[in-house]
Amino acid sequence: MKKIEFLKPVFTKNDFPKENLHQLILCGRSNVGKSSFINSIFNTKIAKTSSTPGKTRSLNFYKVENKFFIVDLPGFGFAKVSRKERDEWNKLILALLSNYNSIKVAFHIIDSRHSPQESDIELNQFIRQKEIPYFVILNKVDKLNQKEKSESIKRTIEFFPELIVNENLFLFSALNGFGKKEIFNLISKLFL
């Protein structure tokens, strides 16, 4: 398995790592399983997860094989975060995506049981506007049967017609590892 280490939590622009490595950015609504994604893909418990939304409160930088960063972002759409904290996060994420000089790929994680929400649509538009290559990952498919998996794909493509299954749209379960091999191959192809 690949070596992953937790580099540091980032709360302000000045804390961004100086090392100019490529970045895989994990984004999506709170509680969709962004931190669990890291643990599952790298067979580790390095990322803190919680059944209570709002667990990740900083931009958490992980370094993989000394080759690239994975950046685990705080989820959006979490009502209990104060306005001030949310504004700070937004500024920080904007700084990460806009100014920080290195190649980035975004993994937009969505709960496969639900339609994309307004905030997912905004995120999709934002990523596209920044011309960041991105992939959508429908997580928690362990909760779906075959028919529901197909429905989840169909529904997601209705919102984001540019998506094609197994090209830039993947089914995944951090719980039972469904789709893990495909996503691991994708990460290897992109960064390793």
Ligand X SMILES: Nc1nc2c(ncn2[C@@H]2O[C@H](COP(=O)(O)OP(=O)(O)OP(=O)(O)O)[C@@H](O)[C@H]2O)c(=O)[nH]1
Residue pair 102/17 in contact by the 8 Å Cβ criterion: no
Among 2, 21, 44, 49, binds ligand X (CB under 6 A): 49
Q: Where do runs of H (alpha helix) occur along the chain?
A: 34-41, 83-98, 118-129, 146-159, 180-191
Contact stretch for ligand X (CB under 6 A) within 61-69, 95-103, 123-131, 139-147: 139-147
Nearer to ligand X, 23 or 60 (CB): 60
Instruction: Check residue 55 for interaction with ligand X (CB under 6 A).
Output: yes
DSSP assignment of 77-90, as one string?
A: --TTS-HHHHHHHH
CA angle 169, 174, 178 (to 5 degrees): 60
Binding mask 51-90 for Mg ion (x = CB under 5 A): ----xx----------------------------------
Q: Which structure tokens are listed for 97?
A: 């995506």
Residue pair 141/175 in contact by the 8 Å Cβ criterion: no
Among 110, 127, 174, 187, binds ligand X (CB under 6 A): 174
Positions touching Mg ion (CB under 5 A) are 34-35, 55-56
Residues in contact with ligand X by CB under 6 A are 30-36, 49-51, 53-56, 74-75, 139-140, 142-143, 173-175
